[in-house]
Amino acid sequence: MRPFGSLSVYLGRQFLFWFVCFAFALLAVIMLVDMVEIFRRVSQRGEGGGLFVVLRMVLLKAPSMLEKAIPFAALLGTAAMLWRLNRHHEIVVMRASGVSIWQILAPVVVLAIAIGVVKVTVINPFSSAALLNYEILEAKHIRGRTNLAAVARNGLWFRQSLPEGSYILHARSISIEDVRLKDVVVFRMRDGDKFVARIDAPAAVLEGGHWRIENPTIAAPDSQPTRPETIRLSTDLTPENINDSFAPPETISFWALPSFIRVLENAGFSGIRHKLHWHAELALPLLLAAIVLLAATFSLRPARQRGGIVVVAASLGTAFLLYFLTDIAHALGSSTRIPILMAAWAPVLVGLFAGVGVLLHLEDG
């Protein structure tokens, strides 16, 4: 068994080398394209900061781009490693020595699963924190949003900037159907952080560019509380985009997602997108294993039967097909057309079974 141990180390090193090369090559290309696009969008808004803001945004987005590049790097790394071994007839020698396809692929599959685990447990928390900061800069310098929203264990928080000042609104929960906030407290500010008034109310409803606050009690410094029937506070939130004002699942650490989902649902929001993202992250290590097996189905043929361009094209085609099916499944899961577990795990299992099936045919045929 010792030769196979040495062989596994050799194959593992080859895979890691090609994986790292393709991962950083893809990341460099993505960052270059992203930098051009971000610079164009920032320039259109005429914001200050210029190149410094663009570079900061690109660097903050880089970890999440690396996450997206990992599956493609695993596929191209596997294809390149096996094509090189085939070209130098090393696979022929291995097979002639009694080494099976499964022994050749075992170290690669194990490493792919390990990379997936590291990506989910180590890279993802760092990436989500960086992406959250990117989202804040994008909202300010590109989308020009003047409102910020957050959900916490004790309810929801909104912050709205206005020409005459700003206000911070807190609510215990929200009814999504009619965008009605419950148990509302508003802190009105002027000149940055100068407190103007506090408003307490049982409810507030979003209506055409303003919050309609019902039966409020207004308390201001050096004056008696007043109780008008209703008041209105301007906002640029709409029923269509209020969900998007909260942290998207990609900006939340894998470890923090379960508790965030509970808080989100307790506040009255749907946690479907976040649940689907969490299960997709759980399935990633097996997805990388499936990608390795699918890449091997095109790369284990003898070199005279497959040229390098054909191998790369077939591998990329398979990757995009799997990515397309995964995207469709996630869209169906987000719209509750199919169960979340099926949406997250079905593409992975289909890829695994397809790869194993073809490789069994190659091994036995």
Q: Tell me: the pLDDT tens digits for 80-116?
A: 898 888 888 888 888 888 888 888 999 999 999 999 9
Q: What is the pLDDT of residue 271?
A: 81
Strand partners of residue 203: 182, 214
Strands 180-190 and 194-207: antiparallel
C-alpha 157/C-alpha 147 separation (Å) is 11
Lookup result for tokens 């906002």:
235
Query: In the predicted model, is pLDDT for residue 145 greater than 70?
Result: no
Percent of residues, the chain, with pLDDT higher than 70: 85
> Which pLDDT belongs to residue 247?
67
- AA identity, residue 267: A
Average pLDDT over residues 275-288: 94
Closest CA to 83 of 291, 289, 309, 287: 309
What is d(CA 347, CA 326) in angstroms, rounded to the nearest whole number? 6
CA distance 181 to 204: 5
Measured CA to CA, the distance from residue 69 to residue 242 in angstroms comes to 30
3-state secondary structure of 167: strand
pTM of the model: 0.78
- pLDDT tens sequence across 173-196: 887 677 888 899 999 988 767 888
pLDDT tens digits along 246-268: 667 888 889 988 888 887 776 66
In our burial notation (b when 16+ CB lie closer than 10 A, e otherwise), range 344-357 reads: bbbbbeebbebbbe
Dist CA 156 CA 218 (whole Å): 20
Q: In this structure, what token pair is assigned to residue 187?
A: 């802190």
Phi, psi at 238, each rounded to 5°: -130, 160
pLDDT of residue 123: 94
Q: Is it the case that residue 218 has pLDDT exceeding 70?
A: yes
Question: Tokens at residue 339, please?
Answer: 């169960």
What stretches of the chain adopt beta strand conformation (E)?
A: 147-152, 155-162, 165-175, 180-190, 194-207, 210-214, 217-219, 230-234
Tell which residue, 16, 74, 11, 38, has the closest CA to residue 319. 74
Reduced to 3 states (helix: H, G, I; strand: E, B; else coil), residue 179 is coil
pLDDT tier, 143 (very low <50, low <70, confident <90, very high otherwise): low
**Distance between CA atoms of residues 173 and 151, nearest Å:** 9
Whether pLDDT at 317 is above 80: no
Q: Which residues contact 223 (CB under 8 A, 6 or more apart)?
A: none
Contacts of 182 (CB under 8 A, 6+ apart): 171, 172, 173, 174, 175, 202, 203
Residue indicated by tokens 């998207």: 248
In the three-class reduction of DSSP (H, G, I as helix; E, B as strand; rest coil), residue 190 is classed as strand
- Stretch 26-52: mean pLDDT: 81
Give the whole-angstrom CA distance, residue 116 versus residue 74.
Answer: 10
Closest CA relative to residue 289, chosen from 114, 117, 113, 118: 113
How many C-beta neighbours within 10 Å does residue 129 have? Answer: 15
